[in-house]
Chain A
Amino acid sequence: MFRKTSLATRTFLIITLVTATTWTAFPFYWGIITSLKDRENVNLWFSVGLPFLHYTPTLENWIGELLLPEMQHALLNSITTAFVSTVFCMVIGSLAGYALARFRFERIPNRDITIWFFSLRVLPPVAVAIPFFIMMKTLGLLDTRTALVLSYTTFNLPFAVIIMRSFFLELPPEMEEAALVDGYTRFGAFFRVALPLSAPALVSTALICLAAAWNEFLFALLLSSKNAITIPVLISGGEHSRGVEFWMVATRGMLAILPPALMALLVQRFIVRGLTFGAVKG
């Protein structure tokens, strides 16, 4: 592409890159600088305010938000539910992914089981949400972190199965065969040989699951009312009760946005394969 770069193509290139860069970076830039303004200056220099140049940046918004009991509670809920559900996903998901990569199921071909998981992952969550809500109500789990963990695990598990399967398929089976010859059980070979060898894949898959659980909104909204409120639910109600306070919206927004954005940086190599369910190799 663009072998002979004429002036016209070069201009086009530069304009496109500048536009795309501004477009992509602006919300991050805006969110961060606004969250660093003090509350009197937040309404000045709306678009051009640069830290240090136009105002002295302050961490008071961040500290203020992080000290709020409701915020701490929501953070704790978000972190614990995301982590616990990710652990469930990785344990159950890598077992099943391993089964689909290494064994042959006779009655239903492996690829059809894999597609079954795939179709469960892509169905609209709202289709499951209402009966899931009633199920949790029946079990007495409404407004508990347990209910959130159950729902997050449910939508991340098929993803973990499919992705771990694709990684295990790339692992040469010889080492596990050698372990079996050495007297390891099937589980021994899985835990001591296959899992350690696929550690990078495990970590990446877990990070993608974590980000998805951290961002989840519909189920959290349905299932929590007070005790189990997560960050997305907390911010979804914020601007209605208190009006648009720029410093608060920016700080809370960035608090929700930054952790997954940092995770995206860590899993660059695996994102493409992960998000296409193995259909496109990155």
Chain B
Amino acid sequence: MAFPAVKHKHVKYVFLLPAVIWMLAFTIYPLFHAFYMSFHKVKLTGPDVFIGLQNYARMFQDFYVGNAAKNTTIMVLSTVTLQVVIGLVLALIMNAEIVGRRYFRTLFSLPIFVAPIAMGYLGHTIFFEQGGPLNIALTAIGFHPIPWLSHPTWAFVAICMIEVWIATPFCFMVLLAGLQGLPEEVYEAARLDYKSEWQIFKRITLPLLAPVILIVFLLRLISALRILDTVYALTAGGPGTATEVYSLITYRAAMKFFDFGYGAALAYILLVVVMLILTFFFRRMREIYD
């Protein structure tokens, strides 16, 4: 793709360097600084004190960290699985010839840019316990009202519901694009060999779609690990510590308790987890960007 004859050899750096310098200044430098801070007791008013691995050691005895890591793991794995499965089911349906397909497609993609903070906030009315719409509907069809925000388990479920609502559209749209990119000839051949739609799905669609499913799953996994906004707006980690997530306690360590070193150490562990997930990705992305 590159031009054979570039007149000025260095002009390409003029194009590229502003972006590289920006990222070095505002991401790479802060990452190094965070690494440095994670080994220090950071005082904004005086010099930092080197304390070795104490910040990291402290994490393993910190109840809040263990609890938040557990909550985040359960939340991320369950919501991402649901998002991908529901997204796939909807994509399969929308890939068929059905009436009003375009309108359904647009509708199902509508939440894609909705601010998580605003949905968490709106959740205060939707999950309202005495007379919110959900509980009214539940009572109307003969169920007991659910203590959505005052019961630890239900608060957790409420957060998960919002997360699924927000991110399923992404999975749906990408998987639908993936399905529409599958070659039609394969299906014509497959229909001669396999009788049921289920077999065609299992033997043909699923294997062909697997690379796209993997990309969707990994991208969702990485961004689900950031979860903060919905929790911050809807439950603030409560009731008790039932919905405390990793980013929330990291934020709190730094901004409420002003323990920047500890916060940096917490953030670094999350960074390492994301890096590990990314390594699964790299080979695939190298092929894509080649």
Contacts and interface: CB of A to CB of B under 8 A. Distances in A.
A217 B274 contact: no
Contacts of B6: 103, 186
Interface string B90-131: 101101101000001011111111111111011011101001
Contacts of A69: none
Contacts of B115: 214-215, 217, 232, 256-257, 260
Contacts of B137: 47
Residues of A in contact with B, size category: 35 or more
Contact of B232 (A99, A190, A236): A236
A106 B251 CA distance: 41
B189 interface: no
Contact of A280 (B20, B118, B215, B254): B215
B205 to A, nearest CB: 8
Contact of B93 (A16, A92, A177, A260): A16
B222 interface: yes
Interface residues of B, number: 107
A180 to B, nearest CB: 8
A275 interface: yes
Contact of A232 (B19, B117, B174): B117
Given A133-B254, A153-B22, A253-B121, A217 B219 contact: no
B147 interface: no
Nearest to A155: B27
Contacts of A23: 165
B260 interface: yes
A25 B122 contact: no
B206 interface: no
Contacts of A132: 26, 30
B89 interface: yes
Interface in B13-63: 13, 15-16, 18-20, 22-23, 26-31, 33-34, 37, 42, 44
Contacts of B128: 244, 246
Contacts of B113: 208, 211-212, 215, 260-261, 263-264
B118 A253 contact: yes
Contacts of B29: 131, 135
